[in-house]
């Protein structure tokens, strides 16, 4: 069962700002898109239906440390790992590198929720069709 996922992303012109580098807020979009690719790789989606309800994953928190800037056309290697698989939430860790050099380290904690239109969000235990497919990163992992 996977606890990691790797993808890539090339910096677009509209990701950059007047400092000539990718704007710091874009890394949160990069994390989200990697998370969504990961969910698709499991055969599910961040926006899916289950037992007649809409299931979504609203964010509880997100953070990022910026170690080195990246520029237009740079290609980021993005390494996602499941830092913690809770009962109703998931904590992802993201490592961004370029040619092996660390660019940024992020985390994102999401809650599994019923997101039906017109109802309040309601946290639920992660359904088995997701929970049974994934594992937390083992504690001794060198990428932690």
* Interface residue list for a copy of itself (CB under 8 A): 12-14, 16-21, 23-26, 28-29, 32-33, 36, 40, 45-47, 56, 58-66, 69, 71-73, 115, 117-118, 121
Least separation in angstroms between residue 140's CB and a copy of itself is 25
Between 28 and 50, whose beta carbon lies closer to a copy of itself? 28
Between 118 and 139, whose beta carbon lies closer to a copy of itself? 118
Least separation in angstroms between residue 74's CB and a copy of itself is 12
Between 1 and 117, whose beta carbon lies closer to a copy of itself? 117
Least separation in angstroms between residue 129's CB and a copy of itself is 18
Between 6 and 47, whose beta carbon lies closer to a copy of itself? 47
Least separation in angstroms between residue 34's CB and a copy of itself is 11
Q: Is 91 in contact with 109 (CB distance < 8 Å)? A: yes
* Dist. CA 5–CA 38, nearest whole Å: 6
Between 102 and 135, whose beta carbon lies closer to a copy of itself? 102
Least separation in angstroms between residue 61's CB and a copy of itself is 5
Q: What is the 3-state secondary structure (H, E, C) of the chain?
A: CCCEEEEEEECCHHHECCCCCECCCHHHHHHHHHHHHHHHHCCCCCCEEECCEEEECCEEEEEEEECCCCCCCCEEEEEEEEEEECCCEEEEEEEEEECCEEEEEEEEEEECEECCCCCCCEECCCCHHHHCCCCCCCCCCCCC
* Dist. CA 82–CA 76, nearest whole Å: 19
């Amino acid at each position: 069962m996977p606890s990691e996922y790797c993808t890539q992303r090339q910096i677009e012109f509209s990701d950059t700002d007047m400092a000539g580098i990718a704007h710091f807020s874009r890394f949160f979009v990069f994390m989200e898109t990697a998370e969504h690719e990961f969910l698709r790789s499991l055969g599910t989606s961040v926006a899916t239906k289950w037992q007649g309800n809409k299931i979504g994953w609203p964010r509880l928190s997100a953070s990022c440390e910026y170690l080195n800037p990246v520029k237009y056309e740079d290609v980021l290697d993005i390494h996602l790992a499941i830092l913690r698989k809770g009962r109703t939430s998931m904590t992802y860790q993201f490592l961004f590198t370029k040619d092996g050099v660390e660019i940024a380290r992020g985390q994102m904690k999401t809650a599994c929720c019923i997101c039906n239109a017109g109802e309040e969000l309601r946290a639920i235990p992660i359904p088995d069709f997701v929970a049974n497919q994934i594992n937390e990163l083992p504690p001794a992992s060198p990428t932690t």
